[in-house]
Structure 1
C-alpha cells in the first residue's frame, strides 16, 4: 500500500515540486483515514522528502550544465575574462600616459 502511495505521489505531483509540509499533510490524511499507521506516515514523509531533495539537486545540476553548454556555444566572454581585459587596458593607458609625459 505504501509503495502504491509513493508511486502515485511521485507520478502525480512530481517529486521535485513537493514540499515537506505538503507531504506531511498527505501522510496525515492517510493516517486519519486509516490507510496507514502513524509510523508508516512518518517513514513515507521522510523517504519522499529525501527523494524530493535529490530530485531538486539533480534538476539544478542539469540546468547548470545546460546553461554552461549554451554559454559555450554562444562564445561569450566570462566576467573574469572581461575584468582581466579591463585591467590590461588600464595598464596600457597608464603606459601611454607615461610615454607622453
Structure 2
C-alpha cells in the first residue's frame, strides 16, 4: 500500500513539486497520517525534488524548442542573428573607412 501511494504521489506530484519546502510539507503530512515512516519520507522528498527538477528541465527545453520553431516559422530573426549582422556591418564600415 505504501509503495503504491509513494509511486502515485511521486509521479503525480513530482511534476508540480520543485522546491524542498513543498516536498517536505507533503512528506510530513504523509508521516502524520502514518502513510510513511521518517526514513521513507527522506527518500520521498529526495525523489520528489529530483522528479520536479527533471520535469522542469524537460519543460524548459520543450518551450525553448517550440519558441525557436515559432520564430523560424514567422521568419523573425534571433538575437544571435542580429548580433552577427551588427558585427558584419561594423566590419564593412571599418573596411569602407580604410579604403577611402
Structure 1's unaligned 5+ residue stretches are none
TM-score, with normalisation over the residues of structure 1? 0.73
Deviation at 1:86, TM superposition (A): 4.1
The RMSD of aligned alpha carbons is 2.5
- Aligned residue for 1:17, secondary structure, equals coil
- Whichever of the two has the greater Rg, that structure is 1
Deviation at 1:16, TM superposition (A): 3.3
Could you say which structure has the higher helix fraction? 1
- State whether residues 10 and 51 of structure 2, in contact with CA within 8 Å, keep that contact through their aligned partners in structure 1: no
Structure 2's unaligned 5+ residue stretches are none
Deviation at 1:81, TM superposition (A): 3.1
Deviation at 1:90, TM superposition (A): 5.5
Q: Give the total of aligned pairs.
A: 97
